[in-house]
Structure 1
């Protein structure tokens, strides 16, 4: 089972070793489990003409190959070869709420690990990858940092290092503004990935996500800890808000409280999924208590299978929490 590497702060001498080990793990496992040529998590159609295949329900009728259709009397569509010059931009939300985890790692570590996997999948084909990073409330010293898109393995490793060593700031970053930065300046069609716990209200980031999906293939990577979905029965529990530092005592022995908490959490996650799907984006949920690399491999393999068959399908819905555990 792949465990997200715990990346320490900017002043730690272990940071470089941890990052190198993380990148090596991602490289070995993804290259071993994903056979074939991948230009990213959501490879888009390119401009080079490929072979013709028989039409299937859901294929784009604008790609009908009329000469082959006339010769065979069977509808055919012309496939296209994936663009080798794919450009991927990653928005990484490093709000203080990601400095939380009760399972194998912090949500922050899982977010960085997911970024490492996506950087590897994009950069290994000679494509360009860049990032924007949100680090808390601007009033409390947070900011949005832009790292330009570049090609090359050395540049990709430097990009991951810059993301991992970015220090979180108090408060919550504006997820809507972070996503909107992927639209400025306007870029040619590519892939946009948003990594966050999506704890901000969907009304804040739903419209920027829809706007982003008009031009790009968008993937929303949702990072979740099991304690955000249900409370354990451990008596009186003191919890701290990582964004404000406020402390609260919760009586977890109260069955009705735990039930209301689980129902509210399920409703919140359903609202996130509804907003992401409504924007036309794909969704990948990664949990701190599961094998995140295996979940990512399943997602990429599913995307490739759907595109190979030429059937437009939505991304698979997140598994029920009982099955995920």
Structure 2
């Protein structure tokens, strides 16, 4: 993002949004342009018929039980792509996102990811809605079309105030449940968060994040893309002597001597286990996973994700319709 001038963090909100829009339209749109969002290709929701079930390829939740009962042979429903796409974004703007040691803070990276989704789905008739999980409540934006609507949502995400010390924000699980109730029609749902809320205290096999069950329920009706935002200092500690760490949501403080090699190794191991817990939970919930980091080129990471999704979709189509 750095082009030799001020970083996005140093720009006024309107200039931040303008630079984001230029970045997305110049670098992403030329590579990913199409009728529908390429972040997560998949089926639509209009019935077009049935075909025989293929074990290992088809989802059981797409079974056409009426045809199966009539023919005594398992069949699945076939659907055509929706002519109009409705996309919902759940953007995490809780205090844990107000952290960053690279060019971007996690909150700004979340805004960039939301902007990418918005600008790339701004086709004719496509609608975008959002739930912004803030420090004290969830702000809801109805699904509408247009650039003005998108920019209004991005401004709101940039302007979410920091939380008061010791005040716990709404839970991510509650926010996901609220979005599920607000979006009855099938569409694309993008959850942008660090997914640190509701993680289990231990790494036991039976321990699962609080939000996993709600995310799984969301994925029953919608295609779900989970954009995980992380900062390198959340994954490992540098040797910089004695530092004070502050939990932005609870206000708890602790002095840590980063000169201890054993402590740094334990920290890195715990962080790795935590991220693996998130990855496993997203996979079990049926969500596609796009990890972004504040010290990486987020545009390149989105492009790689899209190309990987398209390769998978093409491979699946080839298996279904061999030459």
Q: Say whether 1:271 aligns with 2:269.
A: no
Give me the whole-angstrom Cα distance separating, in 2, the residues matched to 1:194 and 1:167. 20
TM-fit CA distance, 1:81:
4.9
Indicate conservation of the 8 Å contact 1:119/1:160, yes or no.
Answer: no
Give me the whole-angstrom Cα distance separating, in 2, the residues matched to 1:88 and 1:280. 17
Structure-2 change in CA distance of 1:125 and 1:163 (3 Å): farther
Q: Counterpart in 2 of 1:147?
A: 141
Give me the whole-angstrom Cα distance separating, in 1, the residues matched to 2:261 and 2:277. 24
TM-fit CA distance, 1:95:
0.8
Structure-2 change in CA distance of 1:183 and 1:15 (3 Å): same
Structure-2 change in CA distance of 1:156 and 1:178 (3 Å): same
Structure-2 change in CA distance of 1:189 and 1:5 (3 Å): farther
Q: Counterpart in 2 of 1:178?
A: 175
Q: Counterpart in 2 of 1:254?
A: 260
Q: Say whether 1:45 aligns with 2:43.
A: yes
Cα deviation code 1:171-210 (max 9, x no counterpart)? 3431001111111135111111111111112432111101
Structure-2 change in CA distance of 1:79 and 1:27 (3 Å): farther
Indicate conservation of the 8 Å contact 1:225/1:287, yes or no.
Answer: yes
Q: Say whether 1:107 aligns with 2:101.
A: no
Runs (5+) with no aligned partner, structure 2:
64-75, 200-208, 319-323
Q: Counterpart in 1 of 2:84?
A: 85
The match for 1:286 among 286, 289, 292 is 292
Indicate conservation of the 8 Å contact 2:36/2:85, yes or no.
Answer: no
TM-fit CA distance, 1:216:
0.5
Q: Counterpart in 1 of 2:245?
A: 239
The match for 1:6 among 8, 13, 16 is 8
Give me the whole-angstrom Cα distance separating, in 1, the residues matched to 2:143 and 2:33. 26
Q: Say whether 1:199 aligns with 2:196.
A: yes
1:66-77 residue pairs with structure 2 within 5 A? none
- Alignment root-mean-square deviation, CA: 3.0
Q: Counterpart in 2 of 1:66?
A: none
Give me the whole-angstrom Cα distance separating, in 2, the residues matched to 1:92 and 1:157. 14
Give me the whole-angstrom Cα distance separating, in 2, the residues matched to 1:304 and 1:195. 21
Indicate conservation of the 8 Å contact 1:59/1:310, yes or no.
Answer: no
Runs (5+) with no aligned partner, structure 1:
64-76, 137-141, 313-325
TM-score w.r.t. length of structure 2: 0.80
Q: Counterpart in 2 of 1:73?
A: none
TM-score w.r.t. length of structure 1: 0.79
Indicate conservation of the 8 Å contact 1:99/1:107, yes or no.
Answer: yes
Give me the whole-angstrom Cα distance separating, in 1, the residues matched to 2:292 and 2:2. 12
TM-fit CA distance, 1:24:
1.7
TM-fit CA distance, 1:39:
2.8
